[in-house]
Structure 1
Amino acid sequence: MAFFCQKDSYATELVTEVVSCSPAQLKTENGGKKETLSGYNVILKDTVLFPEGGGQPDDRGFIGDVPVHRVTRQGPEAVHFALSPLDPGSEVLVKIDWNRRFDHMQQHSGQHLITAIADSLYGFKTTSWELGRQRSFIELDTPMMTNEQVETVEQLVNEKIRQRVPVIVRVITTDDPEFNQVRSRGLPDDHAGPVRIVDIEGVDANMCCGTHVANLSDLQVIKLLGTEKGKKNKTNLIFIAGERVLKYTARSYSTEKSLTALLKNGPEEHIDAVEKLQKSVKTLQKNNLTLLRDLAVLTAQSFKNSSDRSKVFSLHRKEGDNEFMNIIANEIGTEDTIVFLTVGDEKTSGLFLLAGPPGIIDQVGPRAAKILDGKGAGKKGRFQGKANKMSQRGDVESLLQEVINGSALKEE
């Protein structure tokens, strides 16, 4: 069955009838957080909303005033997931999110065109593709693609766009002789009935269930951004088409303006300026690390040379690291001294280290980690880890003093 959206990719609304509505759940991911929505699966007599398929994501839109959060194909039916129920038998107006739909049409038709040109020029077969949120890629069955080949494909696909080549959707049966001649990666296992052929006149004929532009001129422009290594000795060709090229250009220009203002030079000098800054930062980091190590040694020596030094040495330094803490602990020595060191933010997260007689550290290490709302591990008189409540380090100091006062450490 061909849905209305497949018969007319440019239709933005459709009056139809609700066939069924049943409780359902939808697993989603929002901002990296997975959640399950409770709602309803709605089947309509026909739909203007495209269910995902052929590498193309599904549409978004409304049934009446009820938002549609997902559209999937189950056999011959398109299933719409909504959070509110709809009455079976009722007449409804279905509207699509046109910006999302047209973007998908541009990327999908662009993929067909790029695939056809890459195949005809170099014999690079498409094995899969992905329509991403900002950019898409075509997986080509070749271990590499040269810059010259990428440029040639880009020139030719844009030439076809300028030629305003028609894109015609036809329907054939599986016993039609043409069925075995058109390009295809196979039909779904549950497919039944006629087959849609998307024909870019004189360029390509391919089986596809997706929505497409009626003329290559609607693609506006295609930009091939480059290649990256794909799976199993294949190459991913990255591209954007249509409105995405305009948005990409706007973002790139905005970035260029910001870099020009920050670096105080022209765009052609940005790379050299950033490379110089990176070298300077590496030098500063190296010098800072050397100074931090020297400071650790001096800090430890100052404590050791003190005539009235305590049996507990405690220090927090925002700029330190694990190496800084371990140098201090090594320099002080922990046979008769407990060393408690922390680095990072004074109130929130950071690193901590406890060093001292193994019997005491084994006892207080886990307790200190709990006080600091952190986790750690240790052995041989050392316990270190990450803390989330550095503001509680005073409580750890109190704990250490209590342990010292009640311990069997030998008085000097």
Structure 2
Amino acid sequence: MTKRLYYEDSYLKEFRAKVLKKIKIDNRLAVVLDETAFYPTSGGQPYDKGVIQDVPVVEVVEEGDEIIHILKEELKEKINSEVVGKIDWKRRFDHMQQHLGQHILSGALMKLWGVETVSFHLGEEVCTLDIAKEKLTEEEAKKAEECTNEIIFDNRPVKCYFVEGEEELERSNLRKVPEKTGKIRIIEVEDFDLSACGGTHCQATGEVGMIKITKWEKRGEKIRLEFICGRRAWKDYFWKN
């Protein structure tokens, strides 16, 4: 079992851990640690990159209760040895901005029109959000973007915590009730949004910087939005102006 340090602190850039296993995944060298700050691909959010003892981590996946770090080359340290892991902070913080931006945008869509989020994907260049709405006008897109940016500019606190049991979940008044049961991690944007999520997030909405909806199109009975946050949105503005 791997303890997930990013649940406790999304800002943790460096950590020490013990090597539990040295394995191969699809003929690629990998290690399992007793605890890690590396986020695995999950919930629409890509994996973290970085190094373990200066060996590049090229992918991170989860299998059951273990997190597997796939490496560029073999780690010299043996089983039970202590190693130091370092996160690629620029990549991690970008993912935190995009993911929290998605929560705020989804919250805005729910509050404005009662529109549910169907799925989310955090891409290398843009993020996509599929919503249960058959049509989205330019005026509505502007309204959703404006509402989202207002929450960002308010710099509201963001809390991460766990709840357990059906009664606790019902009292939480989540935007969308999760399918899984048991211990559920909650992301709370103060006085705005409550969502179940295992991803990494900023500690205040202001750190998202800004959001820009760049495109939307009809996909069956849904609408797919493309959006960017933070440094990505700033770069988009810079190059277009």
Could you say which residue in structure 2 is the equivalent of 1:402? none
Could you say which residue in structure 2 is the equivalent of 1:207? 196
The answer to whether the 8 A contact 2:3-2:35 is kept is: no
Structure 2 Cα separation of the partners of residues 250 and 84 of structure 1: 41
Cα drift, residue 222 of structure 1? 0.8
Matched, 1:183 2:184: no
Could you say which residue in structure 1 is the equivalent of 2:74? 84
Q: Which has the higher contact order (CA 8 A, sep 6+)?
A: 2
Instruction: Give the total of aligned pairs.
Output: 237
Matched, 1:249 2:237: yes
Structure 2 Cα separation of the partners of residues 147 and 133 of structure 1: 25
Cα drift, residue 58 of structure 1? 0.7
Could you say which residue in structure 2 is the equivalent of 1:131? 122
Match of 2:227 among 226, 239, 246: 239
Cα drift, residue 2 of structure 1? 5.7
Seen in structure 2, the aligned counterparts of structure 1 residues 89 and 179 have a Cα distance that, compared at 3 Å, is farther
Structure 1 Cα separation of the partners of residues 157 and 217 of structure 2: 31
Identity of aligned residues (%): 33
Structure 2 Cα separation of the partners of residues 185 and 132 of structure 1: 25
Could you say which residue in structure 2 is the equivalent of 1:392? none
Question: Equivalent residue of 1:87, what SS?
Answer: coil
Deviations 1:355-406 (A, max 9, x none): xxxxxxxxxxxxxxxxxxxxxxxxxxxxxxxxxxxxxxxxxxxxxxxxxxxx
In our comparison, the structure showing a higher alpha carbon Rg is 1
Could you say which residue in structure 2 is the equivalent of 1:100? 91
The answer to whether the 8 A contact 1:41-1:80 is kept is: yes
- Structure that is richer in helix per residue: 1
Cα drift, residue 179 of structure 1? 4.9
Cα drift, residue 198 of structure 1? 0.4
Match of 1:194 among 183, 197, 202: 183
Structure 2 Cα separation of the partners of residues 51 and 24 of structure 1: 14
Question: Equivalent residue of 1:52, what SS?
Answer: coil
Could you say which residue in structure 2 is the equivalent of 1:7? 8
Structure 1 Cα separation of the partners of residues 135 and 108 of structure 2: 16
Seen in structure 2, the aligned counterparts of structure 1 residues 95 and 176 have a Cα distance that, compared at 3 Å, is farther
Structure 1 Cα separation of the partners of residues 157 and 94 of structure 2: 18
The answer to whether the 8 A contact 1:39-1:84 is kept is: no
Matched, 1:53 2:42: yes
Deviations 1:272-324 (A, max 9, x none): xxxxxxxxxxxxxxxxxxxxxxxxxxxxxxxxxxxxxxxxxxxxxxxxxxxxx
Cα drift, residue 203 of structure 1? 0.7
Structure 1 Cα separation of the partners of residues 81 and 157 of structure 2: 38
Cα drift, residue 169 of structure 1? 0.3
Structure 1 Cα separation of the partners of residues 120 and 135 of structure 2: 16
Structure 2 Cα separation of the partners of residues 22 and 73 of structure 1: 14
Seen in structure 2, the aligned counterparts of structure 1 residues 247 and 104 have a Cα distance that, compared at 3 Å, is same
Structure 1: runs of 5+ lacking an equivalent: 26-37, 254-412
The Cα RMSD (Å) is 1.7
Could you say which residue in structure 2 is the equivalent of 1:401? none
The one-letter amino acid of 1:243's match is R
Seen in structure 2, the aligned counterparts of structure 1 residues 2 and 153 have a Cα distance that, compared at 3 Å, is farther
Cα drift, residue 184 of structure 1? 3.5
Structure 2: runs of 5+ lacking an equivalent: none
Question: Equivalent residue of 1:121, what SS?
Answer: helix
Structure 2 Cα separation of the partners of residues 92 and 205 of structure 1: 36
Question: Equivalent residue of 2:175, what SS?
Answer: coil
Question: TM-score, with normalisation over the residues of structure 1?
Answer: 0.55
Cα drift, residue 153 of structure 1? 1.1
Seen in structure 2, the aligned counterparts of structure 1 residues 226 and 23 have a Cα distance that, compared at 3 Å, is closer
Matched, 1:62 2:46: no
Question: Equivalent residue of 1:183, what SS?
Answer: coil
